Amino acid sequence: MAAILLDPLAAIGRATLGACRAVGDVALFALEGVSHLVRPPFYGRLFWHAFVEVAWFSLPVVALTAVFTGMVLALQSYTGFARFNAQSAIASVVVISLVRELGPVLAALMVAGRIGASFAAEIGTMRVTDQIDALTTLSTNPMKYLVAPRLLAATLALPLLVLVADVLGVMGGWLIGTLKLGFVSAAYLKSTFDFLQTGDVISGLVKAAAFGFIIALMGTWCGYRSKGGAQGVGGATTAAVVASSILILALDYVLTEIFFAQ
């Protein structure tokens, strides 16, 4: 009887300990990865390869997401604001929402699905096929070779992607505003830029850099720690996307509190 009562407690205890271990391991992994960014040798080619992969090849998916988000935002704002004769606020709502929140978060979520999964799958496959051990035997530190360049690349690439997403998202809102909702183009753009402040853009870019780091960290960590063949790599890939998505949303709240809480 006691065993039946204690079993769920034991399971909760095990899960808690496992979670604490994982958090500690991720923190140490991140510290070691970052420490290799300032200690030679540096792998410039690998950084550039990862940067192009994150920034350039994620561009179409981020661009489409941003354009459609801007369009939907303009439409939804119109249906709501029209009830209060506040249609003139649509441009400012679109730009503030996009630059502060939706641009960084949606771009990061799309990149987490694309790049986080790709990092986890690639490094996970290397783990289960002994390629990471092979790196060690070839006098190459796997953290320096596999993790550090990806951390740096994603941290620098995400702000660029978010800048593009911001511009395209505003353009999507402007398209709907002028072509469908009857706004005058110049008035829409003036309203957009009047309400936008430098701090809004900077906060979005800082969020983007933090999200980029999280995506690369979870992708590389899940891949690096994967075990057990194809199933393990599949699990690592899923875990990387899920973990980075949740962390992006949680970190978004924290950063918003830091930047905008009164």
Query: Does 17 participate in binding another protein (rule CB under 8 A)?
Result: no
CB 137 to another protein: min, Å: 4
Comparison of 129 and 197: residue with beta carbon closer to another protein: 129
Query: Residues touching another protein: how many (CB under 8 A)?
Result: 15
Q: Is the peptide bond before 41 cis (omega within 30 degrees of 0)?
A: yes
Taking the CA atoms of residue 18, residue 110, residue 89 and residue 261 in that order, the dihedral angle to the nearest 10 degrees is 30
Query: Does 140 participate in binding another protein (rule CB under 8 A)?
Result: yes
Residues 190-209, mask of contacts with another protein (x by CB under 8 A)? --------------------
Of the ranges 94-102, 136-144, 214-222, 237-245, which one interacts with another protein (CB under 8 A)?
136-144
The first and second tokens of residue 251, run together, are 């970190």
Comparison of 70 and 142: residue with beta carbon closer to another protein: 142
Query: If you search the block for the tokens 């994967």, which residue do you land on?
Result: 226
Query: Does 42 participate in binding another protein (rule CB under 8 A)?
Result: no
CB-CB contact of 194 with 92 (8 Å): yes
Distance (Å, whole) CA 243 – CA 230: 20
CB 126 to another protein: min, Å: 8
Taking the CA atoms of residue 172, residue 173, residue 177 and residue 179 in that order, the dihedral angle to the nearest 10 degrees is 10
Query: Does 130 participate in binding another protein (rule CB under 8 A)?
Result: yes
Of the ranges 12-20, 67-75, 132-140, 215-223, which one interacts with another protein (CB under 8 A)?
132-140
DSSP 129: T
Q: What is the H or E stretch that residue 99 is in?
A: none
Terminal Cα-to-Cα distance of the chain (whole angstroms): 53
Summarize as ranges the residues that interact with another protein (CB under 8 A): 41, 122, 126, 129-131, 133-134, 136-141, 145
